[in-house]
């Protein structure tokens, strides 16, 4: 503290007239009072420390009370409310491509709109503005969300960049965006049942999307399927046309590589658009190719002939009495077009004789029949990489009557995919064909399991060719493509048994029959007969022409060129004009 010299007592006395004492020469005009300043500073500091301590204590008491009220009540802990529920960005989902690398499913970046109602100043105004930009929103629902006490509410997902910009331009506080992905299927319904769908959060719900959900979520590379989307599109178009023509309630198409088991095409109608998951509701979402199981009718005669030939109980010259129907356990087994004579094994297939097949099965025996059906994969669900797979229906008690009816495809129900794979086993040299929807690498192939002898497989290929050139499958014949196969027409069981006129009509084929590469199936559920088909809706009238048309259109895509008839086929065609006894002899020899 400094004192100005004009305020010194000596000068003040002179102004007032008092006689002061003379000043001491050792006292300066300015005096520093250090002790007073230090004392003031110490006093202020002590007061601040005390005040801060009191305030800290007060806050500690308040905080303790708040914790007591919010977390604990009556001795029971309460969950602490989360301050924010802002969603985390989803992981990138991998693409799905066909065997040629064509994109089948991908994910596009989108924006999701959410809000923190605590940050919204005027919920009514915000709701009104949002509905103008996003008219599909319900104003009352939006207002309810924005006026809630929550800290997070979803408002809209999958916004395009344009719509995101328009919402952002509203300038409404409390609205936020989260980066999301939307699953997109460029080909729409073409492979809907194979690909399946995902939910709004990108989790697989069906098909490949569900089966490989963990792999796809990882986002490492693309999942390559065995499908060829070109073949799929062509097959689907042909099936849809014929389904509409015959007023069928459903249709199935399968094309399978007989050596690798790869599914090149798989169609199930009706189908849906995976870009709009609500269209998968009801019958449209049902995969008839893998999930549906049906009594396949006369196509099963192929398996009956194969097990009879392979086990050695018959040969191509063996004849069976088909002169009259079989009556057993109150049932009658008859032929659709009875010939009323003895039939060779080739003739049983050519004319699709139920009587001949039943008697052939009795000769094979129940034990052998079950063994071969198991080896052919017809007694268990197909081992394909899809979650929608149906298990076959087999008899609880396998009696002689079951053995006979199963010989011509009644009394056992399997999926169309199972049937196609089993036929592939018949013609590929006798190795089990395990169907797969994933493109296989050579290194990943497992050693094949032999089911039939090579000679049996060769005979079955020739017999299937005879059915197309001489029998019920003639409408599938296509010059130069050497197609073999078998028709099937099975009555559908109902509440009153098999009394209705509802049928499953199918044709299963292989091509080229001398060196098979593909097995193909066309199936129609409850087709109706037409005037041009004389009222018939059998496999020969409905399904066989579909296979012919599909094979003819697909062969260039699959790299198959027309070839001349083989000597065996030419010989069989010539035999058609020979007397019956001589023709039977030639058929048996071939």
Residue-level pLDDT at 497: 66
Mark whether 469 and 419 lie in a shared domain: yes
Rounded to whole angstroms, how far apart are CA atoms 371 and 379?
Answer: 9
pLDDT band at 580 (very low <50, low <70, confident <90, very high): very low
| DSSP sequence for 293-341 | -B--GGGGHHHHHHHHHHHTS--TT-EEEESS-EEETTEEE--SS---E
Average pLDDT over residues 238-243: 97
User: Mean pLDDT over all residues of the chain?
Assistant: 85
Residue 101 lies in a domain: yes
Q: What is the pLDDT of residues 385-421, one digit of tens each?
A: 999 999 999 999 999 999 999 999 999 999 999 999 9
Better pLDDT: 72 or 230: 230
Domain presence at residue 533: yes
Report the pLDDT value the prediction gives residue 60, as an integer from 0 to 100: 72
Domain span including residue 415? 236-589
CATH number at residue 469: 3.40.710.10
Q: Is the pLDDT of residue 565 over 70?
A: no
Residue 78 domain-assigned (yes or no): no
Amino acid 47: pLDDT: 73
Which of the listed residues 223, 257, 279 is the one where a domain comes to its end? 223
At residue 341's C-alpha, the angle toward residues 302 and 351, to 5°, is 30
* Element of type H or E holding 111: strand 103-115
* Residues 357 and 480 placed together within one structural domain of the fold: yes
Tens digit of pLDDT for each residue in 430-472? 999 999 999 987 545 567 899 999 999 999 999 999 999 999 9
Predicted pLDDT of residue 144 = 93
Residues 247 and 133 occupy one common structural domain: no
427 lies in the same domain as 509: yes
Same domain, residue pair 153 and 267: no
Which range, 8-22, 156-170, 216-230, 249-263, has the best average confidence (pLDDT)?
A: 249-263
Cis preceding linkage at 512, omega within 30: yes
DSSP secondary structure of 186-200: TTGGGGHHHH--B-T
Question: How many distinct structural domains can be found in the chain?
Answer: 2
For 182-236, the pLDDT digits (tens) are 999 999 999 999 999 999 888 999 999 999 999 999 767 899 999 999 999 999 9
Judgement on whether residues 219 and 240 belong to the same structural domain of the protein:
no
State both tokens at 268: 């199930």
User: Residue 31 has what pLDDT?
Assistant: 47
Q: Are residues 251 and 218 in the same domain?
A: no
Q: Do 424 and 568 belong to one domain?
A: yes
Please indicate, yes or no, whether residues 281 and 151 belong to a single structural domain of this protein. Answer: no
Q: How confident is the model at residue 22 (pLDDT cuts 50, 70, 90)?
A: low
Higher pLDDT, residue 482 or 36 = 482
- Domain match, 207 and 297 both: no
Contact (CB, 8 A) for 533 and 505: no
Is the predicted pLDDT of residue 239 greater than 90, yes or no?
Answer: yes
Q: Which residues are catalytically annotated?
A: 298
Instruction: Determine contact, residues 493/566, Cβ cutoff 8 Å.
Output: no
pLDDT value at residue 375: 96
Q: Kindly state whether residues 201 and 274 are assigned to the same domain.
A: no
CATH number at residue 129: 3.90.1310.10
Least confident of 74-88, 254-268, 509-523: 74-88
Matching residue, tokens 């003819």 = 552
Residues 170 and 248 in one domain: no
Per-residue pLDDT at 444: 54
- Alpha-carbon distance of 78 to 81, in angstroms, equals 9
């Amino acid at each position: 503290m400094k004192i100005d010299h004009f305020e010194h007592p000596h000068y003040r006395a002179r102004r007032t007239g008092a006689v002061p004492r003379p000043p001491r020469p050792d006292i300066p005009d300015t005096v520093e009072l250090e002790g007073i300043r230090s004392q003031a500073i110490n006093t202020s500091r002590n007061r601040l420390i005390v005040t801060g301590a009191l305030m800290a204590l007060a806050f500690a008491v308040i905080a303790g009370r708040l914790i007591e009220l919010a977390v604990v009540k009556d001795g029971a802990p309460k969950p602490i409310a989360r301050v924010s529920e802002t969603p985390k960005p989803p992981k990138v989902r991998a693409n799905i491509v066909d065997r040629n690398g064509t994109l089948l499913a991908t994910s596009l970046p989108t924006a999701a709109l959410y809000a923190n109602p605590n940050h919204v100043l005027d919920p009514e105004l915000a709701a009104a503005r949002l509905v103008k930009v996003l008219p599909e929103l319900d104003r009352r629902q939006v207002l309810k969300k924005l006026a809630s006490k929550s800290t997070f509410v979803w408002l809209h997902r999958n916004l395009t960049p344009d719509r995101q910009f328009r919402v952002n331009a509203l300038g409404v506080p409390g609205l936020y965006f989260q980066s999301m992905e939307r699953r997109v299927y460029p080909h729409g319904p073409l492979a809907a049942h194979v690909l399946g769908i995902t939910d709004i959060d990108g989790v697989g719900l069906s098909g490949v999307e569900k089966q490989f959900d963990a792999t796809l979520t990882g986002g490492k590379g693309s999942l390559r399927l065995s499908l060829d989307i070109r073949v799929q599109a062509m097959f689907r178009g042909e099936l849809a046309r014929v389904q509409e023509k015959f007023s069928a309630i459903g249709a199935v198409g399968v094309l399978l590589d007989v050596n690798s088991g790869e599914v090149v095409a798989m169609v199930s109608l009706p189908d849906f658009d995976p870009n709009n998951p609500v269209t998968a509701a009801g019958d449209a979402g049902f995969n008839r190719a893998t999930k549906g199981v049906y009594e396949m009718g006369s196509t099963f005669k192929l398996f009956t002939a194969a097990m009879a030939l392979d086990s050695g109980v018959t040969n191509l010259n063996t004849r069976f009495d088909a002169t009259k129907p079989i009556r057993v356990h109150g049932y009658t087994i008859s032929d659709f077009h009875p010939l009323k004579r003895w039939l060779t094994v080739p003739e049983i297939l050519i004319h699709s004789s139920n009587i001949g097949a039943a008697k052939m099965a009795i000769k094979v025996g129940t034990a052998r029949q079950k063994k071969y059906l198991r080896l052919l994969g017809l007694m268990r669900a197909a081992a394909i990489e899809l979650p929608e797979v149906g298990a076959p229906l087999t008899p609880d008690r396998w009696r002689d009557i079951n053995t006979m009816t199963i010989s011509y495809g009644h009394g056992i129900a399997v999926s169309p995919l199972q049937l196609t794979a089993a036929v592939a086993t018949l013609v590929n040299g006798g190795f089990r064909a395990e169907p797969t929807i994933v493109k296989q690498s050579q290194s990943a192939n497992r050693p094949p399991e032999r089911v039939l002898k090579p000679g049996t497989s060769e005979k079955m290929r020739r017999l299937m060719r005879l059915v197309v050139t001489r029998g019920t499958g003639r409408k599938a014949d296509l010059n130069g493509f050497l197609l073999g196969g078998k028709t099937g027409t099975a009555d559908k069981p109902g509440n009153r048994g098999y009394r209705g006129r509802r049928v499953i009509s199918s044709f299963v084929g292989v091509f080229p029959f001398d060196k098979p590469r593909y097995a193909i199936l066309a199936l129609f559920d409850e087709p109706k007969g037409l005037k041009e088909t004389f009222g018939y809706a059998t496999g020969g009238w409905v399904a066989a022409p579909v296979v012919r048309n599909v094979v003819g259109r697909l062969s260039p895509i699959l790299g198959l060129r027309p070839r001349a008839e083989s000597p065996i086929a030419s010989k069989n065609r010539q035999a058609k004009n020979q007397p019956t006894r001589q023709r039977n002899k030639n058929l048996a020899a071939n």
